[in-house]
Structure 1
Amino acid sequence: MTNKKGSDGRYRYRVCIGKDESGKPKYKSFYGTTAREARAAAEAYRAALGKGMDPAQAKATLATLYDNLIAAKKAKGIGQKSLDRYEDNKNHWGPLLEHPAADLRTADFQKVLNALADWHDGKPPLSHFTLSNLRSSAKAAYELAIPEIVQYNPIVKTTCPAGADPEPREPISEEQQRWIRETPHRAQRAAMLLLYSGLRRGEATALTWADVDLDAATITVNSGYNFHNQKTKKPKTAAGRRVVNIPRILVDYLKTQQDGCLYVLHTVKGRRMTEQAWKTLWSSYMADLNVKYGYNGAESKKRPGGLPMRIEPFTPHQLRHTFCTLMYFAGVDVLTARDQMGHKDISVTLGIYTSLDKKFKKKKINRLDSYLRKQTG
């Protein structure tokens, strides 16, 4: 390590970082307004080399860090949906992607997070959940790059803004639940299963009759289905592997549905449901429900130009959310509900229960008012 004061008044320290192809020493220079400042920068670099930093990757960009993370996640076999989410997170950082990752600081990331939490360039704010996911992905990208590319993680000191309120995931109404119970349709089996077990759509798609024990009134969830890769997959977390206790109404219904096929839910040819099969099935289901309950059966869904939707359609995921809501009304404790739903973090279940508490607290107080009036009347 050598030092020298240049003609511009700055001090320079040079560190030998190896030899070139001809065997001559290669040096890297560090500058400072004082000899101590230049030396400190040089020593920090030398210490980084000792910790495993690769000088050849010193200018690797934030985009490179994300690409490395996505490649690592893909090697672990995570689903395409999750990989796409990492790609979306990457793109949210905009201009920062082209900057050397080692040069970016906490303030750079905080500025972007704050901008995304508010209206920006005509775009609505992101939710706190999305912002938190974005921050977590960047943190993981930096963690993977230590110590070869970067020496510290600037994301750790950032704060996730509140962002926009998340869109509510409303459960379906009691009337819509009655539609499911009372309307025969090829999709009724899927709707009954999701409504009264809380399974995710991928879990329901992977379900076989061997996983269903009608005597014990349980469903064992061992796997899910990746619609993009068209392959079964293990649950992402230990919480996903679970035994779901199902109510008698679903037990009695499923006893009438055993048809000799391997899969509980399947196409008309007995094959596993695909993404397109789900879309076709559900579209037909909503159209039939619309005819029966929106038009009292007086119209045909094949009417020229289509039949306008008079009912409120619902999605398969709403049925899962409704199952959690039913447990809340039945007085099922939040720990049991978490296990039934397969939530990794109890805060997810608590969030649903808390939201329902707020929504129905007024009704509960009104019941108290009615009771007190009877007592004092």
Structure 2
Amino acid sequence: MRTTMKITKKAEKLLAATPGLHLHNNKLRVVFRLPGETKPTKRSLKLEPTEPNILFAANKLGTIKQDITFGLYSNDPEAFWLKHFPEELQSKAEQTPTLKEVLYAKYNDLLYTWSGSSQRSYGYAVSTVSQYLGHLPVDQVRSSHVRELQKKLLSGEDRHKPLASRTVNMYLKQSQYLLDLYLEELGERTNQIYSNPFKKVPALKEGRSFSDDEDQDVYPFSPQELSRILEYLAKNPLKHRLVRWMVYTGMRPGEIVALAWEDIDLEANVVKVRYNYSRHSNGLKLPKTTHGRRTIELLPQAAEVLAEMFPVTGHLPGELMTVTEHYNKTKEVLRRNVFLYRSSKGVFRRLHENLTFPTVTWGRILNKVDVPYRRPYQLRHTYASWALMNGADPMWVARQMGHSDWGVIRTVYGKWIPQAMQSPAQLLGSKLGGFVPYTSPKPGTQEDGEKSL
């Protein structure tokens, strides 16, 4: 049974005369405000409200406030807590954090270094792994737990749908990286070596290896299929030009959405890929790799698309757009987009998200012309496949498409590489002139631009 100590009148006066010193559960408690905190910090001193204890607590509170004023807390929080509340710091040190606490702590530490897409990717990984293993103290996580998690994610157990093996591998690899950072710091403090249970679990087999933005199945369009698609789109100039642009440049959809007249040098006959579209910020971002930031040599067929688009969008005023750079730094740039669509109110707008065609509409087009469905990204594959089939140097194709070397080209498009390698741009352009049927929009068709994509 708790007994309440009776406080003397003198003690009451001392207590009332000391702002920030209160009674809580009949014990003295100090209240102070830390830099950057919106709520006051409260700490019990576990002392009875006697006159000597009140004087001691008042002096302690004064020292705490003084150390905060002179920057001890701001410069070295651990030294601050060690000086004033060592028993509390010791108690916290003895508590082993859970895996969830560790993963989220490291995720938040690195957040500012990542792009929006990396933030989402690591966020999904941390959230998913924490859902299953987050409750475990980090020193009790075993490789058997990780293997069981691997099976659950792959089978879809406790989830709405199973995850692809590639996604499971990515989530576990990202969690392993974050846990590695924690264990490395812990080892430096304790002078011990700790093993990471995620490292002991082999990755699931994924088959061949591909870059993040490439289809695992390359299914390029044939010349006859492209001819039928272009003929069907003859009355829709924007889509007609977009299909031709993708198949004659190999640009990624997001790069096309971001493409501006400022990126084009018609005299040199090149396009500089500077930015990609970011769904995360509804603005622009830098290409994922340094090789993605590249200069594309234009084929005559691609130059013809630009000649058709310039009277439509080349005269429009620029739009101020936000570019997210490394470490989430941003800047504003004035850009005049090349490919825009005209809304029902006659206003030109950027293409939707990072796709040039909504899947349903694109699927309807292919269905109308009796062409087996594949997503618009296959137009990029078509560019690479046709280039290689016509003898283009694989290294040149790799540079055109934004790959660091021709390893991906060899792996993904190997069966289209002939034995004899020939000169690229001009030869390829002349060959494709006869190799690929080309259908221009018929005179008197729908006005440039369209109400929706």
TM range, smaller chain:
0.5 to 0.7
Letter in structure 2 aligned against 1:178: S
Deviates more, 1:244-253 or 1:329-338: 329-338
CA contact (8 A) 2:399 2:405 kept: no
CA change 1:284–1:110 in 2 (3 A) is closer
Q: Does structure 2 retain, via aligned residues, the 8 Å contact 1:239–1:344?
A: yes
Q: What do residues 39-93 of structure 1 show as CA deviations (whole Å, max 9, x unaligned)?
A: xxxxxxxxxxxxxxx837x5333333433354355423512x4433323333543
2:198 is equivalent to residue 160 of structure 1: no
CA–CA separation in structure 1 for the residues paired with 2:404 and 2:123: 23
Alignment of 1:228-243 (within 5 A): 228-243=280-295
- The answer to whether residue 173 in structure 2 is matched with residue 130 in structure 1 is no
* Cα gap change, 1:86 to 1:170, in 2 (>3 Å): farther
Q: 1:331-375 CA distances to partner (integer Å, 9 max, x unpaired)? A: 334333322221357543332024657xxxxxxxxxxxxxxxxxx
With over 3 angstroms needed to count, the CA separation of the structure-2 counterparts of 1:164 and 1:288, relative to structure 1, is: closer
Matched, 1:326 2:386: yes
Asked whether the 8 Å contact 1:242–1:342 carries over to 2, the reply is yes
Q: Whole-Å Cα distance in 2 between the matches of residues 19 and 253 of structure 1?
A: 69
Structure 2 CA distance for partners of 1:102 and 1:313, relative to 1, 3 Å? same
Partner of 2:226: 177
Tell me the amino acid that sits aligned with residue 167 of structure 2.
Answer: T
Match of 2:141 in 1: 104
Cα distance in structure 2, aligned partners of 1:270 and 1:25: 62
Asked if 1:270 corresponds to 2:348, the answer is yes
Query: What is the SS of the residue equivalent to 1:228?
Result: coil
**What's the CA shift string for 1:238-283, capped at 9, x where partnerless?**
1111112232221223222213242111121233223299555x65
Residue by residue over 1:153-194, the C-alpha shift from the partner in whole angstroms, topping out at 9 and shown as x without a partner, is 333343212157895242233333223444322212222222
1:199 maps to amino acid: M
Larger Rg: 2
Once the two structures are superposed, residues 118-155 of structure 1 have per-residue CA deviations (whole angstroms, 9 ceiling, x without a partner) of 68679987555334322321122123324446755333
Return the TM-score normalized by structure 1.
Answer: 0.64
8 A Cα contact 1:212 1:219, kept in partner: yes
User: 1:200 matched to which residue of 2?
Assistant: 252
1:153–1:337 distance in 2 versus 1, CA, 3 Å: farther
Q: Give the gaps of 5 or more residues in structure 1.
A: 1-17, 29-53, 295-310, 358-377
1:13-38 CA distance string (max 9 Å, x none): xxxxx96956669878xxxxxxxxxx
Aligned to 2:122: 86
SS at match of 2:309: coil
| Distance in 2, Cα, partners of 1:227 & 1:97 | 29
Residue of structure 2 equivalent to 1:307: none
| CA pair 114-163 structure 1, distance change in 2 beyond 3 A | farther
Q: CA 1:22–1:321 in structure 2 vs 1: closer, same or farther (change >3 Å)?
A: closer
Alpha-carbon distance between aligned partners in 2 of 1:219 and 1:234, rounded to the nearest angstrom: 16
Query: 1:192–1:250: 8 Å Cα contact kept in structure 2?
Result: yes
Q: Partners in 2 of 1:136 and 1:197 — Cα distance?
A: 34
SS of 2:171's equivalent?
helix
Partner of 1:338: 398
The 2-side partners of 1:164 and 1:126 are apart by: 16
Q: In structure 2, list runs of 5 or more residues that go unmatched.
A: 1-80, 188-193, 209-214, 317-335, 418-453
Measured after TM superposition, the shift of residue 232 of structure 1 is 0.7
d(CA) in 1 for partners of 2:387 and 2:145? 44
| Residues 193 and 66 of structure 1, relative CA distance in 2, 3 Å threshold | farther
Alpha-carbon distance in 2 for matches of 1:177, 1:328: 18
2:262 corresponds to which letter in structure 1?
A: A
1:55 maps to 2:93: yes
Of 315-324 and 58-67, deviating more is: 58-67
Contact (CA 8 Å) 1:224, 1:233: kept in 2 or not? yes
Q: Contact between 1:221 and 1:241, CA under 8 Å: does it hold in 2?
A: yes
CA distance 1:120–1:199, change in 2 (3 Å)? same
SS at match of 1:244: strand
CA contact (8 A) 2:155 2:162 kept: yes
Check whether the contact 1:69–1:140 (CA below 8 A) recurs between aligned residues.
no
The residue identity in structure 2 corresponding to 1:267 is Y
1:207-231: CA deviation from partner (whole Å, max 9, x where unpaired):
1122122343321111111123111
Structure 1 Cα separation of the partners of residues 284 and 221 of structure 2: 29
Q: Is 1:220 paired with 2:281? A: no
Contact 2:166 2:204 in 1 (8 A): no
Aligned equivalent of 1:375: none
Distance 1:270 1:23, change over 3 A: closer
User: Contact 1:170/1:321 (CA < 8 Å) preserved in 2?
Assistant: yes
- Inter-partner Cα distance in structure 2 for 1:355 and 1:125: 32
Check 1:91–1:114 CA distance in 2 against 1; reply closer, same or farther (3 A cut): same
SS in 2 for 1:267: strand
Percent identical pairs in the alignment equals 23
| 1:288-326 superposed Cα distances (whole Å, 9 cap, x missing partner) | 5654x35xxxxxxxxxxxxxxxx4344232212222222
Q: 1:26 to 1:188 in 2, by over 3 A?
A: closer
Deviates more, 1:207-216 or 1:268-277: 268-277
User: Partner residue of 2:5?
Assistant: none
Query: Which residue matches 1:350?
Result: 410
What's the secondary structure of 1:232's corresponding residue?
strand
1:187 counterpart residue number: 239
Residue from 366, 376, 379 that aligns with 1:316: 376
In structure 2, relative to structure 1, the CA distance for the partners of 1:218 and 1:127 (3 Å cut) is: same
Asked whether the equivalents of residues 197 and 320 of structure 1 are also in contact (C-alpha less than 8 Å), the reply is: yes
Name the CA shift for 1:86/1:26 in 2 (closer, same or farther; >3 Å). Answer: closer
SS of residue in 2 equivalent to 1:170: coil
Is the contact between residue 103 and residue 175 of structure 2 (CA under 8 Å) also seen in structure 1?
yes
